[in-house]
Structure 1
Amino acid sequence: MATNKILYVCQEISPYLPENELSKLSLDMARQMQERGEEVRTFMPRFGCINERRNQLHEVIRLSGMNLIINDNDHQLIIKVASIPSARIQIYFIDNDDYFSRRAILHNEEGMPFEDNDDRAIFFARGMLETVKKLRWSPTIVHCHGWFSAIAPMYLKKVFYDDPLFRDLKIVLSLADDKFEGQLAADFKQKLEGEGIMDSSMKVLEEPTYENLYRFVIDYADGVIVTSANASRELVEYAQQAGKKVLDYQEGDEKTIFDNYKKFYDEL
């Protein structure tokens, strides 16, 4: 089987953020697939609570400097990289002072979601894909971990679809235990339309809940991997009914689990 070129788009990765089910799997999957001979690139946001000195992040000048217009405002794209020696992988970080300087991830000190989380996710998706273009690297699989990464499939199918780098790829979504309460900004749908993402099925985003976001994004996916026993069964059933290739939650020894993930990729 030919080597897959896998682009991992991650909401969080251990050890840069506290270890949990999502951050650990994001690291393990990139490491395990690389060990199985896959070619891997991994991206995450450079949230302000990440200690740059301790984790030895450094800016990549040749990739930084582009201005992205989000919600009618210019925001500078900054790219940083760091390596995880124990896993022998490199992580690319998407950074911007307006969106990622606050010393938190997705919630404020009172535990409330930041009001601009939708803008931050849009910036992350666009910045990540613009960086992949600069790298001149053409993935065959794009795997999104966490709802914050879920905007990337929309861009790939509606904005970057005619770019030769992204023309022949498969999109995989993880369904994890990462549900957010409430809704994203009320004008989230309009912001996506302003980005060039137009689709008759976007009506579901008039109420941008976690479930509606994933119902919309699943339609763009080629495959869905259930990565948590606590993932929404409603969304799993939606993916199955939509005819998507679904790998349900895996239990057992680590080698078998990641062998099954690789088999899933190979069969897409």
Structure 2
Amino acid sequence: MHSLKELDLMKDKRILYVSSEVIPYLPETELSSTAFNVAKFAHSKGVQTRIFMPRFGVINERRHQLHEVIRLSGMNLIIDDMDMPLIIKVASIPKERMQVYFIDNDEYFKRKAIYTDEDDQLFPDNDERMIFFAKGVVETVKKLNWAPDIIHVHGWMASLLPIYLKEYYKEEPIFADSKVVTSLYNNEFEGELNKGLINKVKFDKIDNDSVPILENPTQENILKNAILNSDAIIKGSDSYSEDLEQFIKDNNVTVLDYQSEEYLTEAYLDFYKENVLELQDS
């Protein structure tokens, strides 16, 4: 572990945090609290941070003082040959001076639920919501003209971002030097998403070697796809299936092992500096 003084070398680096869930906007989970705490710690060390999350309908806009950013809203994203309007909202986390951007669309995010209906069944359009979220983040960052050094992805709904950056947006100069880190979390959902996911990804002319994994869109396969398209991964949970553990080993990816809550913020920042940014020289 390096000293905090050495971590100051991260000052003024830009890290984009993209998470399915973030406290205080959604209930506290391993995912929502980790995403928030890591971003907060990096911010406190002089790192320039931006946080992006979906604007789920359960988020209380009045209490959290969300407001629409007209200059960023107004474009349409093509999802499986459909025009879907992109709405961008923003809020500041109290006391932290950290900005959180919310990707919104009435069709995908207005419902008063996150991933499942009242019968605890996954929404059939979760696949399209994932694609919309990934594209919405990228298009907004382009409009902000804010080139991140690191993009840190948390949660399965954010985890198509690595393949979209690698393929669909590969010609975008703003991301030319960005390194993608994906945090893997366990037991986020059971079963599988809409089997149409793979065809909707291919509609965007994405057909790299990892796409066939999405033929059976379980949580584990979605994570495998993210692993293959990320520069580094972080184990955000303390255990995974033997199959996923073996997949991580077989693909020889740069990994930060699971960190307990008391150490993770410093360990993540250290990992960025020592392992992720160094990849730029490789």
**How many angstroms apart in 1 are the aligned matches of 2:96 and 2:187?**
24
Number of matched pairs: 266
Deviation of 1:177 (Å)? 2.6
Partner of 2:213: 204
- Deviation >3 Å, runs of 4+: 230-234
- Structure of higher RCO (CA pairs closer than 8 Å, 6+ residues apart): 2
**How many angstroms apart in 1 are the aligned matches of 2:245 and 2:51?**
25
Letter in 2 for 1:30: A
**How many angstroms apart in 2 are the aligned matches of 1:56 and 1:94?**
15
Structure 1 residue 262 corresponds to structure 2 residue 269: yes
Deviation of 1:213 (Å)? 1.4
**How many angstroms apart in 2 are the aligned matches of 1:198 and 1:135?**
28
Letter in 2 for 1:40: T
Please, what is the CA RMSD of the aligned residues? 1.4
Kept in 2, the 8 Å contact 1:146–1:178? The answer is: no
Q: Helix, strand or coil: the match of 1:53? A: helix
- Deviation per residue, 1:97-139 (Å, 9 max, x gap): 0000000000111111100000001001001100000000001
**How many angstroms apart in 1 are the aligned matches of 2:141 and 2:255?**
27
Kept in 2, the 8 Å contact 1:68–1:77? The answer is: yes
Deviation of 1:235 (Å)? 2.3
Partner of 2:200: 191
Kept in 1, the 8 Å contact 2:10–2:45? The answer is: no
Kept in 2, the 8 Å contact 1:147–1:178? The answer is: no
Q: Helix, strand or coil: the match of 2:199? A: helix
| Unpaired stretches in structure 2, ≥5 consecutive residues | 1-8, 277-282
Deviation of 1:236 (Å)? 3.6
State TM-score, norm by structure 2: 0.90
1:247 to 253, 256, 268: 256
| Unpaired stretches in structure 1, ≥5 consecutive residues | none
C-alpha change, 1:129 and 1:29, in structure 2 (3 Å) is same
Kept in 2, the 8 Å contact 1:11–1:148? The answer is: yes
Structure 1 segment 137-156 matched on structure 2, within 5 A: 137-156=146-165
- Deviation per residue, 1:133-173 (Å, 9 max, x gap): 00000011111100000011111000111111001111111
C-alpha change, 1:15 and 1:149, in structure 2 (3 Å) is same
Of all paired residues, the percent bearing the same amino acid is: 48
Kept in 1, the 8 Å contact 2:213–2:225? The answer is: yes
**How many angstroms apart in 2 are the aligned matches of 1:2 and 1:110?**
46
Structure 1 residue 119 corresponds to structure 2 residue 128: yes
Deviation of 1:198 (Å)? 1.3
State TM-score, norm by structure 1: 0.95
Q: Helix, strand or coil: the match of 1:28? A: helix
Q: Helix, strand or coil: the match of 1:143? A: strand
Kept in 2, the 8 Å contact 1:240–1:246? The answer is: no
Kept in 2, the 8 Å contact 1:175–1:231? The answer is: no
